[in-house]
Amino acid sequence: MNTTGVPTGRTGVELRHLRALAAIGDEGTVTGAAEVLHISQPAVSRTLEQLERAVGTRLVERTTRSLALTDEGRRLWEHAHAILARLDAALTEVRAGPRPLRLGTAWAVLGPLTVPLLQEWRGAHPDAPVRIHRRTDLEGALRRSEVDAVLLRTTPSPTPDVHCLRLMHERRVAALAEADPLAEKDQVYLADLAERDVALCTTAATTNATLWPEGHRPRTVDVADVEQWLAAVATGEAVGVTAEGTVHSHPAPGVRYVPIADAPLVPAYLAWPKRPTHPDTAAFVDHVRRTLRERNASGGR
């Protein structure tokens, strides 16, 4: 017997404990978790207390007004999601056959290469479909096994459980209203945009004010999604800065994209777990590698 009261050699942790922690972390309240799980609030609280005794540490900080996961709680919350997702996937496969490979992506990542990449995969692997999943927290979704691989436009956080492959770099472009005088130029510079309001999309992480030198940074305007971002640009409310792939994935009436001559390039990465969550992960990674290699050999940027 250890200090937690749990017999040595057994965890005392059951799936119901993990489901409760996952729901508490997702919903942010015991009330919300109870509604999701269709059980009473006292039952959720008891289940959480049992889990904390089993692991021997506090997982949730509680006050009369708020609830938050501790660092240990957040790590176990991610593991709980991963375990439950793998279990659900296994049960689904047994009942209905293999599921599609879930590819998490940032908006417009890989630009004009995305559709040919998926079309060629489908032609070569007709019985192994890939489904696109948009996520704001791609690395978190991968850790929680909500997706099987992710395409990123930001350098992934180092982690021993994830493979990472740098695929390419994209130029940055300015998104401008067609009536904007800068829209007529062949290229612009960051200084040209420093006096403008710059729209930042909360679902993309390729641009922030640190692109500009300190003391010469523009005012930024947060927008919720790509539709609001495009609307802000088209109406002249703000300008945008984005990766070149957006030109191909999000053409829009009233918006013109112009290369930025002095902005750093945007990297694109493919990341996947070292213990794959889908049997076709390795084949898909090889397909991406081969497609990029052939693209580079043919002179593509």
38 or 204: which carries more pLDDT confidence?
38
Region 236-252 average pLDDT: 91
pLDDT in the model for residue 97 = 63
* Model confidence pLDDT, tens digit, residues 12-29: 888 899 999 989 998 888
Q: What is the dihedral of CA 248, 224, 203, 241, to 10 degrees?
A: 50
Angle at 200 between CA 196 and CA 202, to 5 degrees: 165
What is the identity of the amino acid at 57?
T
Pairing state of beta strands 101-105 and 130-134? parallel
* Model confidence pLDDT, tens digit, residues 74-108: 989 988 888 888 787 777 766 656 789 999 987 66
Q: Where are the alpha helices (DSSP H) in 28-135?
A: 30-37, 41-55, 71-96, 114-124
Region 169-179 average pLDDT: 94
What is the identity of the amino acid at 160?
P
Helix or strand holding residue 273 (H, E): strand 266-273
SS (H, E, C) 163-198: EEEEEEEECEEEEEECCCHHHHCCCECHHHHCCCEE
Of the chain, the percentage scoring pLDDT greater than 90 comes to 47
pLDDT in the model for residue 300 = 55
Q: Examine the pLDDT at 9 and tell me if it is beyond 50.
A: no
pLDDT in the model for residue 108 = 65
- The whole-angstrom separation of Cα 61 and Cα 67 is 6
pLDDT in the model for residue 7 = 42
Of the chain, the percentage scoring pLDDT greater than 70 comes to 91
Q: Examine the pLDDT at 205 and tell me if it is beyond 90.
A: no
